[in-house]
């Protein structure tokens, strides 16, 4: 049963619930995802509440929910993924390949190799990323002050979920693609013996795509989604949040290119991936509730319909 103190527990076969989850890494102490909520669908009909408690009317700040069981699995699995992958990379067993000629690069990617690398850009981009992470901690606290402790918990887990899934996806793609960094082209393309020790790090081939860009974009997208959900599109707050997040993501992306750590395509793809995950996570955490006179339901409804000798698993997606 999803953790929701405002909806009393129900009993009976119509309340059977199934959930699915995918592994993720957690950069914060808590992470979680509600990827599905249960509801029985009979013969393609809409869920019938019958004698069950009807979805409540809730305040504008309480339209999301979490599942402590699913969240706990995601935390353990994600943390293990991150730890083991980091250990494998640190051993150097995955040997980097010498980069090819910059002529094979896309035309707008070559600027990352031919530019004069800014030695301070890496530090500046780190500050930008940690600014985004700091906001992911501060915003749930402010939400908790406005709307109560439950909102603080739910928002904190949604931010952590966005960061966790984005980090896991980013690291998996990096180790799968193994694209040399621009600085690798600049320092290690000669193949001289004096460069062997400096060019043997596995990290030199983790360019695609940018974790700084994806992480910043994920936090920014989650912040904007929550701001629009809570304040509405007519308010200034969500538009300011969206603009600030977009500018911060662009700034961090630019500095990663200036540092020689990424190509333009790396930061573009990182921003797209992070923003997509940052929007989907809170979108999939919505719960059924009445807002004004309209029933708003989660985008995913997963149910089980028992039959003689078996049963059916049903899934409905709503966007």
**Tens digits of residue pLDDT in 295-318:** 455 555 545 566 776 667 665 555
Neighbours of 54 (CB within 10 A): 12
User: What kind and span of H or E run contains 307?
Assistant: strand 300-307
In the structure encoding, which two tokens stand for residue 290, read together? 């009445």
**pLDDT confidence band for 190 (50 / 70 / 90):** low
Separation CA 168–CA 178 (nearest Å):
15
Distance of CA 200 to the CA centre of its chain: 31
**pLDDT confidence band for 16 (50 / 70 / 90):** very low
**pLDDT confidence band for 65 (50 / 70 / 90):** confident
pLDDT higher than threshold 90 for residue 186: no
| CA neighbor of 89 nearest in space, from 208, 214, 175, 176 | 175
Q: Which residues make beta-bridge pairs with 315? A: 302
β pairing state of 310-317 and 300-307: antiparallel
From residue 70, give the alpha-carbon distance in Å to each of 18, 21, 33, 34, 148: 11, 7, 7, 7, 23
Residue with tokens 């149910």: 303
pLDDT higher than threshold 80 for residue 38: no
In the structure encoding, which two tokens stand for residue 177, read together? 């693609």
Q: Looking at residue 135, what is its pLDDT?
A: 96
Question: How much is the mean pLDDT over the chain?
Answer: 75
**pLDDT confidence band for 216 (50 / 70 / 90):** very high
Burial class (CB in 10 A: 0-12, 13-18, 19+), 178: middle
Higher pLDDT, 266 or 12: 266
Query: Is-cis flag, bond preceding 4, omega within 30?
Result: no
Q: Looking at residue 255, what is its pLDDT?
A: 97
Q: Looking at residue 91, what is its pLDDT?
A: 84
Burial class (CB in 10 A: 0-12, 13-18, 19+), 109: middle
Mean pLDDT is lowest, of 128-137, 165-174, 282-291, for 282-291
H-helix segments, the chain: 68-91, 111-114, 121-147, 149-177, 182-188, 211-231, 236-258, 264-283
DSSP annotation of 115: S
pLDDT higher than threshold 50 for residue 10: no
Separation CA 14–CA 302 (nearest Å):
12
Q: Would the pTM of this model clear 0.75, i.e. be above it?
A: no
Share of the chain above pLDDT 90, in %: 37
Q: Looking at residue 278, what is its pLDDT?
A: 95
The total number of residues shown for the chain amounts to 319
What is the phi/psi pair of residue 307, to 5°? -135, 170
Separation CA 181–CA 97 (nearest Å):
11
What is the phi/psi pair of residue 312, to 5°? -120, 140
Q: Looking at residue 300, what is its pLDDT?
A: 52
| CA neighbor of 164 nearest in space, from 23, 11, 313, 10 | 23
Q: Looking at residue 313, what is its pLDDT?
A: 65
Higher pLDDT, 309 or 42: 309
Q: Are 208 and 257 in contact (CB under 8 A)?
A: no
Q: Are 275 and 219 in contact (CB under 8 A)?
A: no
Q: Are 195 and 222 in contact (CB under 8 A)?
A: no
């Amino acid at each position: 049963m999803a953790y929701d103190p405002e909806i009393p527990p129900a009993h009976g076969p119509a309340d059977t619930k199934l959930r699915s989850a995918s592994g993720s890494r957690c950069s914060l102490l808590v992470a979680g995802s509600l990827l599905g909520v249960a509801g029985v669908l009979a013969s393609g009909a809409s869920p019938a509440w019958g004698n069950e408690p009807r979805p409540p009317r809730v305040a504008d700040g309480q339209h999301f929910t979490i599942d402590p069981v699913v969240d706990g699995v995601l935390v353990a699995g994600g943390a293990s993924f991150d730890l083991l992958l980091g250990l494998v990379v640190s051993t150097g067993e995955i040997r980097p390949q010498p980069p090819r000629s910059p002529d094979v690069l896309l035309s707008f990617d070559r600027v990352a190799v031919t530019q004069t690398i800014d030695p301070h850009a890496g530090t500046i981009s780190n500050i930008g990323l940690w600014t985004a992470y700091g906001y992911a901690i501060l915003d749930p606290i402010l939400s908790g002050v406005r709307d109560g402790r439950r909102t603080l918990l739910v928002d904190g887990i949604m931010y952590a979920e966005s960061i966790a899934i984005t980090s896991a996806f980013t690291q998996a793609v990096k180790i799968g693609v193994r694209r040399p960094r621009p600085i690798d082209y600049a320092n290690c393309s000669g193949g001289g013996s004096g460069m062997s020790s400096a060019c043997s790090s596995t990290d030199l081939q983790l360019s695609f795509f940018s974790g700084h860009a994806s992480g910043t974009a994920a936090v920014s997208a989650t912040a904007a989604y929550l701001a629009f959900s809570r304040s509405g599109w007519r308010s200034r707050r969500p538009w300011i949040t969206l603009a600030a997040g977009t500018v911060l993501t662009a700034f961090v992306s630019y500095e990663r290119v200036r540092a020689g750590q990424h190509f333009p395509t790396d930061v573009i793809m990182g921003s797209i991936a992070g923003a997509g995950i940052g929007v989907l996570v809170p979108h999939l955490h919505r719960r059924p509730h009445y807002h004004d006179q309209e029933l708003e339901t989660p985008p995913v409804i997963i149910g089980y319909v028992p039959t003689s000798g078996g049963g059916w698993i049903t899934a409905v997606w709503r966007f």
